[in-house]
Amino acid sequence: MDAQRQFPDVHWIWAGGISFAYEVHPRIVVKVAKSGEFERGQFRKELKVYEIFSQHTPCLSVVQCFFYSDNGITLESMRGGILTGSYRPTYYLKMVTKVEKLELLALRREWMNDLARAVALLESLNLAHGDLQPENILLDRDRVKLSDFDCTAEIGTDFEACMAPYGRILNVNETDQGGRGTPSSVGPRTEQFALGSLYNLINYGFEVYGDRRLTEDPREHGPKVVDLLQDMEYPKLNGDPLIDDITDKCWHNKYATVAELAAHTKRFLVEGTNSESTFVRWRTAIGRIVQEFWCGLENWLTLVRPSTINQDGSKLRLGQWQRAKWRQS
């Protein structure tokens, strides 16, 4: 008997590839493995990852685990859904034609840093997530957190979940990375590439090449994307220059480690905050200069225009003087 029948009063949330999730409290969910042999095997892999996490300081960019056993994993509830749910794109023949909204730039920068930090944590444990895609990035309020570690494996292990546009197969010029036409093994190259594609989604609102029709037959779009990514032919980026630079570096394997990428996103997050603060300070300073200029002009006009005195002896303000002169003319 499955958990849903065994506990009918427990609120079922969703079914993933290997497990079901149930809400047992507004802030707590329980993941339970499906009954298949493969699913239970993958579930045991995820248990192993949470066991490793329990031996280290918690990372706020990873969905928190409260308790785990062979029967289930108790996790914090992420009530915002998956990453793609925040954009509400409009599709026509599977092509995105309109993005309803993007998150504020400052928030998008935070999300980029949060994801890099979560993957860097795994890297520090000699692990790679192995399945970085929107369905495994969960939202709660304005926070994003990494989840679903059933494909997580030691760095150097075969890349089993290579799905475009978050994974790519190697071309003839990358024999040092592995065989042509293979995804090779998980590690900094595969993880930063996936992060680059996630950054593209966060900052443009659609997946790589999701805004254009590459083939006459929509069913051939996916294979075409695979070919383009293999040849390292990426869409032109025309958004925020700092963000686009990081995305492009991820796609071209420019970071030696994910930790290096995380250091970059943290630095540009601070620089972005500082630049915004500088802009606010400049705007305030310019506003004060303009205000002082007009006050000075008003005082000067008061001195040089004797007609700026009311009959009761009080001074006319600049606007009042202008209206008075207009009436006299």
Whether residue 46 contacts residue 37, with contact meaning beta carbons closer than 8 Å, is answered with no
Could you tell me where in the chain the CATH 1.10.510.10 domains are found?
79-298
What is the arithmetic mean of pLDDT over 236-240? 95
State the pTM of this model. Answer: 0.79
Amino acid at 11: H
Confirm or reject CATH 1.10.510.10 for domain 79-298, answering yes or no. Answer: yes
What is the arithmetic mean of pLDDT over 158-168? 94
Q: What angle do CA 99, 104, 106 make, to 5 degrees?
A: 140
What pLDDT does 25 receive?
86
Distance of CA 97 to the CA centre of its chain: 21
Distance, in Å, from the CA atom of 299 to the CA atom of 314, rounded to the nearest integer, reads 14
Q: What is the DSSP string of 119-152?
A: HHHHHHTTEE-S--SGGGEEEETTEEEE---TT-
- State both tokens at 297: 């002009």
Query: CB atoms < 10 A from the CB of 274, how many?
Result: 10
Could you tell me where in the chain the CATH 3.30.200.20 domains are found?
1-77
- Phi/psi class of residue 152: alpha, beta or left (left: φ > 0; alpha: ψ in -120 to 50)? beta
Protein fold of 1-77 = Phosphorylase Kinase; domain 1 (3.30.200)
pLDDT digits (tens, 9 = 90+) for 46-93: 999 999 999 999 999 999 999 999 989 999 989 888 887 665 555 555
